[in-house]
Amino acid sequence: MDNPADLTASEAAKRIRAGDLTSLKLTEACLARIEQREEALQAWAYLDADLARAQAQAADDALAAGGPRSALHGVPVGIKDIIDTADMPTESGTPHFAGRRPERDAHCVALLRDAGAVILGKTVTTELASLAPSKSRNPVNPAHSPGGSSAGSGAAVGGGMVPLALGTQTGGSVIRPASFCGVHGLKPTLGFISRRGVTLQSHTLDTVGVYGRSLDDLALISDVLGAFDPDDDVAYPRGAARLGQAVAEAAPSGGYRIGFWKTPVWDRAEPRAQAAIEDFAGGLGPACREIAFGGGIERISEDHQCVMSGENAHYYGPLYDKDKSLLTEQMRGRLEAAFAVSARQYLDAVNRREVHYEEVAAALDESDAILCLSSAGPAPEGFATTGDAIFNGLWTFLGVPCVSLPLLTVDGMPMGVQLVGKRREEDKLLRVAKWVEGQVAGRA
């Protein structure tokens, strides 16, 4: 790997600290890759090369003067364009916010800056982080969708433009692009990363997540981002972040029990995706067995949709009222349906979340992680949709941590394998994921 743009964030950060690479050189390599591929991939909503260079130079200067500010020092990060940045526009993929310049950084962006990261630019989001497709293209094959809504983040990390990026997930917006773009993605527990300064569409679902090129990368950036913020109602106090340590110390010998769950929406998966994940589960041997749940959980995806719709109506209704012509037809239709969700339906569904979680948590007493599809198939060809998020919404609803590992290939396109853990147990989830990757590597 001669081009620094192709390094994992962890390796790049290590070289920067060792003096074998500068943040500026790494940033220049990323900018060069963007220059080369952006026309095809359309991953960036905003990028000011000089601003990026200035940050990188500052990171190099700070390193020379006083050492690294964190393990992430000098590493460029792409920021989904629904996350506020004080020095770049934040337009959330809608003309409603065209030219919007936030007064301050989102909490998570401020943490990255404090850690010495380079905020490379803003990555393309679908309209208001919802379903209408964006201009971004799949980095593996630009005739395919990169997924959504964190389309640009998935494309940029997968396309070698930036080693790390932030995304957000309300339905399947972190894990699905990870699956489609062949990168690692982590949607942590609801409340792990603060949403202060992020355009909200659903306060019980919206979750900030991360993209990287390895489990170490996910841990590296998550350890910076997982700082308690009392100003986010769902945030929870946590001790020192130790995901990096969890991944580093994961025992290759394992002894883990993996529960392969087809989920109640198995029929929504493409047969080739079903075959791929069944084959993968089988390949894990006796450590992996299929699990099933009782009847109540059948409606979990419907409950997720109901809660998302009810909250979408609250958060985006004012934009519809202000000027619905600025919304896509898809968003208008979505909101009109959302306005019809009743308070009773909404509260009933909210109430069932904990009932569903109890069932899943009980299964996670028997298994160390649940294995399932990251997406209903590989990235769809064409741009009519961003793909089906049905294998993600249920987990977003439960607020549990999910990781997508780029371990499958289906008809030449990447497809992720999703592992799911208990709330607030990212550390265990990443250890299990490390073991799973080791098993695959061992077989190869």
Give the active site residues.
Answer: 80, 149, 173
> Exposed, middle or buried by CB within 10 Å (0-12, 13-18, 19+), for 249?
exposed
Query: How far, in Å, CA of 155 to CA of 178, rounded?
Result: 9
- Least Å distance, CB 215 to a second copy, is 35
- Least Å distance, CB 341 to a second copy, is 4
The answer to whether residue 64 forms part of the interface with a second copy (CB under 8 A) is no
Return the half-sphere exposure (C-beta side, CA atoms, 13 A cut-off) of residue 97: 23
For residue 245, give the nearest of 405, 403, 16, 431 by alpha carbon.
431
Pick 351 or 409: Cβ nearer a second copy: 351
What is the sign of the dihedral through the CA atoms of 386, 390, 392 and 393?
A: positive
- Least Å distance, CB 340 to a second copy, is 7
Pick 282 or 333: Cβ nearer a second copy: 333
- Least Å distance, CB 144 to a second copy, is 35
Which region among 153-161, 326-334, 337-345, 424-432 touches a second copy (by CB under 8 A)? 337-345
Instruction: Give how far Cα 140 sits from Cα of 36, 179, 197, 210, Å.
Output: 15, 11, 32, 19
For residue 84, give the nearest of 57, 112, 56 by alpha carbon.
112
In the list 95, 143, 342, 362, the residue contacting a second copy (rule: CB under 8 A) is 342
DSSP line for 306-340: HHHHHHHHHHHHHHHHHHGGGS-HHHHHHHHHHHT
Count of residues that bind a second copy according to CB under 8 A: 18
Pick 71 or 341: Cβ nearer a second copy: 341
> Exposed, middle or buried by CB within 10 Å (0-12, 13-18, 19+), for 268?
middle
Q: Which amino acid is at 221?
A: I
- Least Å distance, CB 347 to a second copy, is 4
Pick 51 or 361: Cβ nearer a second copy: 361
Note whether 151 and 389 are within 8 A (CB): no
- Least Å distance, CB 339 to a second copy, is 6
Pick 64 or 347: Cβ nearer a second copy: 347
Pick 338 or 398: Cβ nearer a second copy: 338
Mark 314-333 with x for binding to a second copy (rule: CB under 8 A) and - for no binding. Answer: x--x----------------
Q: Does an H or E element contain 105, and which?
A: none
Which region among 67-75, 278-286, 334-342, 423-431 touches a second copy (by CB under 8 A)? 334-342
List the interface residues with a second copy, window 343-362 (CB under 8 A). Answer: 343-348, 351
The answer to whether residue 340 forms part of the interface with a second copy (CB under 8 A) is yes
Which value, to the nearest 10 degrees, does the dihedral of the CA atoms of residues 178, 179, 180, 186 take?
Answer: -10
Q: Which amino acid is at 264?
A: P
Mark 194-223 with x for binding to a second copy (rule: CB under 8 A) and - for no binding. Answer: ------------------------------
The backbone torsions φ and ψ at residue 73, rounded to the nearest 5 degrees and listed phi first, read -50, 125
List the interface residues with a second copy, window 287-316 (CB under 8 A). Answer: 309-311, 313-314
- Least Å distance, CB 342 to a second copy, is 6
Burial 111-126 (b: 16+ CB within 10 A, else e): bbbebbbbbbbbbbbb
Pick 3 or 351: Cβ nearer a second copy: 351
Pick 261 or 346: Cβ nearer a second copy: 346
- Least Å distance, CB 352 to a second copy, is 11
Radius of gyration of the chain (CA): 20
Query: How far, in Å, CA of 355 to CA of 375, rounded?
Result: 25
Return the half-sphere exposure (C-beta side, CA atoms, 13 A cut-off) of residue 188: 29
Return the ∠ at Cα 228 (arms to 225 and 232), rounded to 5°. 100
Pick 15 or 424: Cβ nearer a second copy: 424
The answer to whether residue 130 forms part of the interface with a second copy (CB under 8 A) is no
- Least Å distance, CB 361 to a second copy, is 17
Which region among 81-89, 118-126, 237-245, 339-347 touches a second copy (by CB under 8 A)? 339-347
116: left (phi over 0), alpha (psi -120 to 50) or beta: left
Which region among 73-81, 212-220, 342-350, 430-438 touches a second copy (by CB under 8 A)? 342-350
Which residues are at the interface with a second copy (CB under 8 A)? Answer: 309-311, 313-314, 317, 338-348, 351
